[in-house]
Amino acid sequence: MNHQAQAALLFLLGATVLHAGLTDLHLRYVKAGLRPLLLLSGAVLIATAAATVWYEWRRGPRSKESKESTESKEPEDSKEAHREPRVSWLLTLPLFALILVAPPALGSYSATHTGTALQKPLGYPELPERGPLRLGVGEYAARAVYDHGRHLRDRSISVTGFVALDGTGTPYLVRMGLNCCAADAQPVKIALTGEVPPVLRPDTWLEVTGRYTPRRTKDPVNDGPVPYLEVTRAEPVPVPQDPYDEAWSG
């Protein structure tokens, strides 16, 4: 592949990375905190492409004449070997796929085949003393299991996540947590009891309102602790802008 083609591919790659970083597309691949690095990487790739084009332009006709002179002295079979294979342009297809086809976020299938990743946090942020609480799946699970619900009792609690059903039909509210990117995503689960809707479809996003209960169960995949939430109301909600949670550690 010649330098002009290399520059074109670098530009396309940089533009794709910038597009992902400037839109919500990057949230399907990495956690939100890595957005500045994506933007920087895209800018560097585009700058490298521009530098390659400038370098080729500076070389000008002399390089072209030298190349033609060299090629005229080579045997015909050698010239064929030096021609860039057109198949190399197939490298652009994943770039266009990245722009045109955004992959769905990991959902119930991954959650039911992966054990809960709940771990004891280093600490717990202060909660408002009064009023309903809006918590993430990871925070509620950690407070319910490792803090024994000390600050959750007698409080109205709202949690948003997607539905997953295990092999026995037990409903869970799940959120996939990220340490870095979607490749390391792991679920944290809350088992639901109380006024659970009679018909639940996997991957449906719900905002669940309920109360803390000391009841617990074990994840059927890895025997990890899974707390319950006693549901008083459950409403379908759209898929959030960022479907992933950063791994919650308090």
Provide the token pair at 31: 């956690």
Cα dihedral across residues 30, 226, 221, 162: positive or negative: negative
Residues 138, 240: one domain? yes
Name the residue among 245, 212, 244 with its Cα closest to residue 228. Answer: 212
Residues 184, 132: one domain? yes
Q: Which residues, including other chains, have CB under 8 Å from residue 98's CB and lie 6 or more apart?
A: 16, 20, 25
pLDDT at site 142: 95
What would the pLDDT profile of 13-37 be if each residue is shown by its tens digit? 777 777 777 776 666 666 666 678 7
Residue percentage of the chain with pLDDT more than 70: 71
Residues 147, 92: one domain? no
Last residue of a domain, one of 52, 72, 100: 100
Residue 75 has pLDDT above 60, yes or no: no
pLDDT at site 57: 77
3-class secondary structure for 100-136? HCCCCCCCHHHHHCCCCCCCCCCCCCCCCCCCCEEEC
Residues 117, 223: one domain? yes
Minimum mean pLDDT range among 49-63, 89-103, 158-172, 219-233: 89-103
Q: How many CB atoms lie within 10 A of CB 64?
A: 11
231 band by pLDDT with thresholds 50, 70 and 90: very high
Residues 96, 161: one domain? no
Residues 140, 92: one domain? no
Task: Give the torsion through C-alpha atoms of 109, 227, 212, 232, to 10 deg.
Answer: 30
Residues 89, 121: one domain? no
Residues facing 212 on adjacent strands: 229
Residues 60, 183: one domain? no
pLDDT at site 54: 81
Residues 149, 232: one domain? yes
The overall average pLDDT reported for the chain is: 80
Residue 156 has pLDDT above 70, yes or no: yes
Last residue of a domain, one of 72, 100, 128: 100
Residue 234 has pLDDT above 70, yes or no: yes
What would the pLDDT profile of 201-213 be if each residue is shown by its tens digit? 999 999 999 999 9
- Which range of residues forms the domain containing residue 9? 3-100
What would the pLDDT profile of 40-57 be if each residue is shown by its tens digit? 887 888 788 788 778 777
Residue 248 Cα to chain centre, angstroms: 15
pLDDT at site 168: 87
Residues 135, 71: one domain? no
Question: How far, in Å, are 39, 47, 145, 225, 238 from residue 139 at the CA level?
Answer: 30, 42, 10, 14, 21
C-alpha to C-alpha distance for 7 and 122, rounded to whole angstroms: 48
pLDDT at site 69: 56
CATH code assigned at 117: 2.40.50
Last residue of a domain, one of 82, 100, 118: 100
C-alpha to C-alpha distance for 178 and 110, rounded to whole angstroms: 13
pLDDT at site 89: 62
Residues 181, 242: one domain? yes
Residues 54, 174: one domain? no
- Whether pTM exceeds 0.75: no
What would the pLDDT profile of 90-121 be if each residue is shown by its tens digit? 666 666 666 666 666 678 888 998 899 998 88
Q: Alpha helix locations (H) across 102-166?
A: 108-112, 137-146
pLDDT at site 230: 97
Domain tally for the chain? 2
Residue percentage of the chain with pLDDT more than 90: 35
